[in-house]
């Protein structure tokens, strides 16, 4: 475990402790109760979205299902170097600091104070013997007892905000893993298409050479020569376009993982999607997906902040004590207790309550939106997985049949049966089918990544 993970784990532990401690205070509803009510108030989920999964940390185990060591290394590099992930980690650090600041405000504050005073009763007399000096040093202790739970609610709000940023960090980490995988698969598709065009150029240049020789000895015609030359140029154009896309996507991947975009990553051919989606996959998104967990705790944080604002109407007590000595050996001791209760503030407290209430409503609406989007993403990914599997069977058949038709047509043309147009038509069908198969392979891999991201992890229930 690296330093960043250790630090974030420590922050998570601190947030949990703060939630447990503040949840025992007066007028503070436990966070678990709040998040439970949030789930009940959220969108209704079909029965198949409930499972025995009880939550826990989301792991990157789904990456292993692609059986690609290079992808594993690229994702690990992105986790270490991606600037966006570092930014998410800094937000966790700030939230933890704010939580600690609120917690410190609940504790007694001890300060050391001192002062010195010089007096001269006769300002017209310059003799320094008539000047009087007095100095003192003392300890000052101050404390505001949290009689009604206002500070505890504020601490709960900050602790839940810390948990929110932790969940946001985990979601950013998962999203980065998915983005890296999709960029890698896109690069593999680019490579395969570029390789195919390079192979096509070689085939057509060979055919061009044959046709040009036949035309020279009177066994062909210049029309076919012009046609094949155009085909070679078209294939060369396709090759250059494919190589340009490959270079751009390589630099995009390098930037994503935190490298200089030098077009140095070597792409691999795509591998077919491994296996089918098992039946009964864990669909308890409310426990698995970090973005949903973050949305839940945003609502809980807004709830406790609203409660803290409401408690501003109640009186507060401030206790302070001082103990020390001065230069004339006189002991200093003082105990002061103060009571403060707002009577008229021109609507200041009510405005704070209204603003906090609006934030709470917005957080709840954002939670409902997040859950609905999660359900949509899962349903789309599951449906796409089925459709793309069927499409792959069809396009694979297309490639085989069009390749056989092209080989037969080309063979017949070379022995004088058929025309170059027949060859071009068969070749065009084969080219398009092969490119389409590569694109469907890429789409299946990317959709499988989207499915894991939508589910909040792997297909494993544990």
- pLDDT one-digit tens code per residue, 11-69: 555 555 555 455 555 566 666 676 666 666 666 656 555 543 333 444 557 888 899 99
Let me know if 204 is exposed, middle or buried by CB neighbors in 10 A (0-12, 13-18, 19+): buried
Tell me if 198 is assigned to some domain.
no
pLDDT one-digit tens code per residue, 65-87: 899 999 999 999 999 999 998 98
**Percent of the chain residues past pLDDT 70, beyond the cut:** 79
Model confidence at 376, pLDDT cuts 50, 70, 90, reads: very high
Residues 438, 199: Cα–Cα separation, whole Å = 15
Buried b (16+ CB within 10 A) or exposed e, 396-424: bebbeebbebbeebbeebeeeebebebbb
Say if CB 305 and CB 29 are below 8 A apart: no
Full domain range(s) for residue 73: 3-107+148-186+215-314+355-455
Q: Phi and psi (nearest 5°) for 449?
A: -60, -45
Q: What region, left, alpha or beta, does residue 50 occupy, with left being phi > 0 and alpha being psi -120 to 50 degrees?
A: beta
Q: What pLDDT is recorded for position 276? A: 77
Tell me if 63 is assigned to some domain.
yes
Tell me if 200 is assigned to some domain.
no
Residues 82, 128: Cα–Cα separation, whole Å = 69
Tell me if 28 is assigned to some domain.
yes
Total tally of structural domains belonging to the chain: 1
Residues 268, 419: Cα–Cα separation, whole Å = 38
pTM over 0.85: no
Tell me if 61 is assigned to some domain.
yes
pLDDT one-digit tens code per residue, 285-344: 777 889 998 999 999 899 989 988 988 888 888 888 777 776 665 666 666 767 777 877
Q: What pLDDT is recorded for position 51? A: 44
Query: If we measure between CA atoms, which residue out of 254, 277, 31 comes closest to residue 161?
Result: 31
Tell me if 124 is assigned to some domain.
no
- Centroid of chain to Cα 257: 14
Q: Which residue has the higher pLDDT, 330 or 149?
A: 149
Bridge partners of residue 325, in order along the sequence: 137, 331
Say if CB 252 and CB 183 are below 8 A apart: yes
Residues 13, 19: Cα–Cα separation, whole Å = 10
Model confidence at 114, pLDDT cuts 50, 70, 90, reads: confident
| Mean pLDDT confidence for 219-226 | 83
User: For position 237, which CATH number holds?
Assistant: 1.20.1600.10
Tell me if 238 is assigned to some domain.
yes
Tell me if 90 is assigned to some domain.
yes
pLDDT averaged over every residue in the chain = 82
Handedness of CA 94, 95, 98, 103 (dihedral sign): negative
**Sequence-ordered list of residues with C-beta below 8 angstroms from that of 455, at least 6 positions apart, any chain:** 281, 282, 283, 285, 288, 289, 378
Residues 158, 153: Cα–Cα separation, whole Å = 9
């Amino acid at each position: 475990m690296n330093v960043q993970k250790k630090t974030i784990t420590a922050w998570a532990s601190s947030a949990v402790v703060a939630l447990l401690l503040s949840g025992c205070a007066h007028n503070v509803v436990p966070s678990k109760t709040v998040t439970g009510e949030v789930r009940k108030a959220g969108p209704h989920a079909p029965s198949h979205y409930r499972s025995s999964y009880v939550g826990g940390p989301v792991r990157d185990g789904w990456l292993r299902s692609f059986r690609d060591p290079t992808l594993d290394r690229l994702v690990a590099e992105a986790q270490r170097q991606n600037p966006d992930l570092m930014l998410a980690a800094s937000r966790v650090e700030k939230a933890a600091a704010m939580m600690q600041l609120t917690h410190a405000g609940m504790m007694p504050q001890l300060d050391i104070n001192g002062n010195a005073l010089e007096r001269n009763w006769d300002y017209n007399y310059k003799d320094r013997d008539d000047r009087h000096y007095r100095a003192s040093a003392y300890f000052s202790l101050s404390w505001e007892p949290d009689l009604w739970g206002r500070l505890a609610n504020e601490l709960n709000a900050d602790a839940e905000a810390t948990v929110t940023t932790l969940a946001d960090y985990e979601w950013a980490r998962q999203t980065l893993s998915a983005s890296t995988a999709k960029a890698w698969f896109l690069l593999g598709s680019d490579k395969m298409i570029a390789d195919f065009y390079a192979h096509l150029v070689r085939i057509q240049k060979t055919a061009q050479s044959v046709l040009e020789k036949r035309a020279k000895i009177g066994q062909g015609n210049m029309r076919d020569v012009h046609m094949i030359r155009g085909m070679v140029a078209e294939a060369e154009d396709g090759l250059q376009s494919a190589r340009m896309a490959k270079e751009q996507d390589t630099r995009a991947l390098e930037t994503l993982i935190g490298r200089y975009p030098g077009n140095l990553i070597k792409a691999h051919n795509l591998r077919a999607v491994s296996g089918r989606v098992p039946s009964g996959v864990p669909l308890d998104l409310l426990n698995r997906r970090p973005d949903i967990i973050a949305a839940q705790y945003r609502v809980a944080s807004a709830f406790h902040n609203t409660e803290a604002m409401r408690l501003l109407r109640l009186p507060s007590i401030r206790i302070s004590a001082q103990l020390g000595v001065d230069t004339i050996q006189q002991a200093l001791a003082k105990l002061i207790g103060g009571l403060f209760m707002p009577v008229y503030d021109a609507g200041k407290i009510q405005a704070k309550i209204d603003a906090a209430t609006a934030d709470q409503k917005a957080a709840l609406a954002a939670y409902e939106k997040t859950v609905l989007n999660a359900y949509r993403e899962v349903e789309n990914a599951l449906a796409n997985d089925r459709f793309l599997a069927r499409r792959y069977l069809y396009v694979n058949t297309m490639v085989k049949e069009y390749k056989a038709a092209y080989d037969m047509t080309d063979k017949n043309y070379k022995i004088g049966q058929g025309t170059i147009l027949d060859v071009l038509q068969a070749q065009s069908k084969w080219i398009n089918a092969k490119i389409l198969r590569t694109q469907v392979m890429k789409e299946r891999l990317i959709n499988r990544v989207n499915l894991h991201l939508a589910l909040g992890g792997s297909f494993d229930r544990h």
